Structure 1
Amino acid sequence: MRLQYAPADALSRLAEDLRFVEAGSLPLFDLLETPILYNHRIRRLPVGSLEGIVEGHPKLASGREITTSQVFLIDTDWGLARTLSRWYRLSATAAGVEN
């Protein structure tokens, strides 16, 4: 049996993003293309993840409640989280209601 939890290229992108953050900057990516999680909360599973209502995800319908892949970084000052698969912008407001 062969188990593969994540493709090597996804782990490589994750490691590169975390190196940028450790150096005190964000990687170059377009924040407008980054999905938003509204009313996000940390989910305590065997690995940390987030739950929330997603908007702008490339594979999931907007307005849908989701659980993300494993979280590796959350920065509330920046309002960003990096999961195994992608960045998310974090919003504490209800979906579609911005202050």
Structure 2
Amino acid sequence: MTYQWLDEATVLRLLKDLQLAEAGEFEKLPIANAPLLRDSRTVLGNVFALSGTVTGHPRLRDGKEIVTSQLFYLNKDLGIARTMNRWYRVTDGALLKGH
């Protein structure tokens, strides 16, 4: 399986979010309402991603175990991550405990 970009709009949103995060302008990012990913861990397949139990995802039921789209940004201190498709608030798992 080869990773493919979804569409130009998704890539442009990702780029804008990464630029704002790099500049430390987190207040301009849609993080407050981002899905929560509990017991989060990094996983490696064809790309780095996150796994965990999701709450508040717009298309997935609460409590579902998921593997996210490709991981592009992770800030353990703030407990946030940006995947190809969206921001996540991350908690609990080995990801934040440094394991």
- Give the TM-score range, shorter chain: 0.7 to 0.9
Name the residue aligned to 1:87. 87
Deviations 1:24-80 (A, max 9, x none): 221524434210000000001120000000000000000000000000000001100
How far, CA to CA, are the matches of 2:43 and 2:24 in structure 1? 27
**Count, aligned residues:** 91
TM-score computed with the length of structure 2 as normaliser: 0.84
Name the residue aligned to 2:40. 40
Where in structure 2 are there 5+ consecutive unaligned residues? 94-99
Aligned residues: CA RMSD? 1.8
Does structure 1 retain, via aligned residues, the 8 Å contact 2:5–2:11? no
Larger Rg: 1
How far, CA to CA, are the matches of 1:57 and 1:17 in structure 2? 18
Identity %: 39
TM-score computed with the length of structure 1 as normaliser: 0.84
Name the residue aligned to 2:62. 62
1:7-22 superposed matches below 5 A: 7-22=7-22
The structure that is helix-richer by fraction is: 2
